[in-house]
Amino acid sequence: MGCKTSDTDCIVSIFDTKQNQPATNKTFLFFQDAPFAPLIKAPAAIEAHLDKNGEARVHLPAVSGWARIDDNGVSYGTSLKPADISNGGRFQLYGPSSNLQSTNLFPSKFVLEIRKPALMK
């Protein structure tokens, strides 16, 4: 299901659970963790435009990082571990807390799925 090598092509798809449809015309972003920043420059964000099915083929390294999309000026994201990328799966993308009294409540509007591409015949 996931991306088995340390750095390979994956299919990411994002589903809008509120609209019950694929998230189209959005950009998927992946920011690699940079534990030594600012001593060592952080790698550039990986960007992929989602197609009409809410999918994009992207070259993802199996490293820790932050996956994100923006929706009408609001960011939704989640942290990923190397195993999350290698094994694939579904992950909730969380938005900012809407409750000023508690920062432990984060709404989830999108689901990210990571999988390896189907083998070509």
Q: Give the CATH number of the domain where residue 70 resides.
A: 2.60.40
Q: What is the pLDDT of residue 104?
A: 62
Structure tokens at 31: 């920011």
Q: Which segments of the chain are extended strands (E)?
A: 7-16, 21-22, 27-32, 46-49, 55-61, 65-71, 74-80, 89-94, 108-115
Computed from CA positions of residues 77, 61, 112, 50, in that sequence, does the dihedral angle turn out positive or negative?
positive
Judged against a pLDDT cut of 50, whether residue 74 lies above it is answered with: yes
Q: Find the mean pLDDT for residues 81-98.
A: 90
Q: For residues 90 and 80, what is the distance between their CA atoms, to the nearest angstrom?
A: 11
Domain membership of residue 30 (yes or no) is yes
pTM for the model? 0.83
Domain contains 121? no
Judged against a pLDDT cut of 70, whether residue 99 lies above it is answered with no
Banded pLDDT at 34 (limits 50, 70, 90):
confident
Q: Is residue 53 part of a domain?
A: yes
- How far apart CA 69 and CA 26 sit, in angstroms, is 7
Question: How far is C-alpha 83 from the geometric centre of its chain's CA atoms?
Answer: 14
Q: Is the pLDDT of residue 35 over 80?
A: no
Q: Is the pLDDT score of 37 beyond 70?
A: no
Is 87 inside any structural domain? yes
Question: Quick one: pLDDT at residue 6?
Answer: 55
- Quote the number of domains for the chain: 1
Q: Which domain holds residue 46?
A: 7-115
Query: Measured between alpha carbons, how far is 112 from 110 in angstroms, rounded to an integer?
Result: 7
What pLDDT band is residue 24 in, cutting at 50, 70 and 90?
very high
Tell whether 1 is covered by a domain. no
Confidence of residue 121 (pLDDT cuts 50, 70, 90): very low
89: in domain: yes
